[in-house]
Structure 1
Amino acid sequence: MTYAIIGFGNIGQALAKAFARNGIEVSVATTREPESFASAAAAIGKMIITKTLAEAVKADIVFLAVRFEAHPDVAKALPTWQGKTIVDVTNAYGVPPEDLGGQPSSKFIARAFSGARLVKGFNHLGAAVLAQDPAVHGGRRVVFLASDDDAAAAEIGALAENLGFSPIKLGGLSEGGLLVQARGKSWGQLIFKDLVKFHS
């Protein structure tokens, strides 16, 4: 299984740190040339491989960590996303719901990435919290996942566990997914909730 993070701002770097912490190789790319962020990637660790966007999207699992408005540029990188899993880490805060056709933002994004299985996840924590070691006081920091594809949600849940998090599945994008999505100028109820799960 190969992994890529598209977008290398605060959230992309926080995700990269989670991979590096667990010795899992991940490609990172932006719409810019890899040289422009190579030193930032090297500072995180040798498992963080800078690539062009065209190279990075060959990965099996792609974390979409760009600004919401930039997702169409990433979607154009492949004619079809068949066989790939997209983890939507974007937040459409400030985007008028009518611009999304009244749909949850992840459903809107899923249309752009035709053929892909889409999981909403890792987006409810601020970058500073997401970048920290998720092992907290003997528990694990929670990440919420929502998807209309149960197998994809299970796959990303297993990856989240490998990265040290405790995944909680919220159901489909139009149901539980709304708890972790922005609508216009309002945030879903679970956004920014920093929760820790303890295993008895």
Structure 2
Amino acid sequence: MKIGTLGAGTVAQAIARHAVTSGHEVVLSNSRGPASLAGLVGELGPLAHAGTPEEAAAAELVVLAVGWPQVPDVTTGLPNLGGRIVIDATNQFAAPPPLAEIADLGEQTGSEYVASLLPGARVVKAFNTLYGQYIAADPHHPAGRQVLFLAGDDADAKATVRDLTGDFGFAPVDLGSLREGGRLMQLGGPLSALHVLKQD
């Protein structure tokens, strides 16, 4: 599978490392341009490439992993994603920690908002409940595998993300729709920042 990242920070890099380790090709992008990612892609190896956001968005599966204030700018101008799967790894921090202000979206969940900015995309919420170091670490632990919560409105897209992250070593748990599951996973929800293991 070819996986693109919109953003190249801690979370995107961690997912990219798991992807290339599992044999997938990755196209990383950020707001500073491909040249700024030369060192990172060199470290990740021959399956990793730097590209523009448009090139990353052309991959079979796209990971959105940027700060919440950057979401509108990153998504504006992207081509219609035409049924592509987008993993939404964002959290709606209007201001990052230590202020940690949460954006007020009314009744809408963060991923429903993201989906509204990406017509044609099949959005799956995942990775946002875990701190970056837990995403980057080996998901296998002596007591079990790191649980990865996910939610989405498209069953096939969720199955693809479940299988992919299962190959990474995580224990994916499907929480249902972007509305119901997303509420559990987003900032302020009971599963936000919950790190648990599943015994095999």
Moved more, 168-177 or 133-142: 133-142
Aligned match of 1:132: 137
Report the CA distance between 1:105 and its aligned residue. 0.8
Aligned match of 1:148: 153
For structure 1, the residue ranges without an aligned partner over 5 or more in a row are none
CA contact (8 A) 2:3 2:25 kept: yes
Report the CA distance between 1:21 and its aligned residue. 2.7
**Residue identity in the other structure for 2:49:** I
Judged with a 3 Å threshold, the aligned counterparts in structure 2 of structure 1 residues 45 and 191 are, in CA distance, closer, same or farther, namely: farther
**Residue identity in the other structure for 1:73:** D
Does the residue aligned with 1:133 lie in a helix, a strand or coil?
Answer: coil
Aligned match of 1:58: 58
Q: Distance in 1 between matches of 2:173 and 2:57?
A: 26
Q: Distance in 2 between matches of 1:103 and 1:53?
A: 26
With the length of structure 1 as denominator, give the TM-score of the two structures. 0.90
RMSD: 1.5
Q: Deviations over 1:90-137 (max 9, x none)?
A: 00032432xx24311110110000111110001111111110011111
Q: Do residues 96 (structure 1) and 96 (structure 2) align? A: no
Q: Deviations over 1:157-177 (max 9, x none)?
A: 111111111100001111121
With the length of structure 2 as denominator, give the TM-score of the two structures. 0.90
Output aligned runs, 1:107-186, within 5 Å: 107-137=112-142, 139-182=144-187
Aligned match of 1:30: 30
Sequence identity, in percent?
Answer: 37
**Residue identity in the other structure for 2:59:** A
Aligned match of 2:75: 75
CA contact (8 A) 1:106 1:173 kept: yes
Does the residue aligned with 1:125 lie in a helix, a strand or coil?
Answer: coil
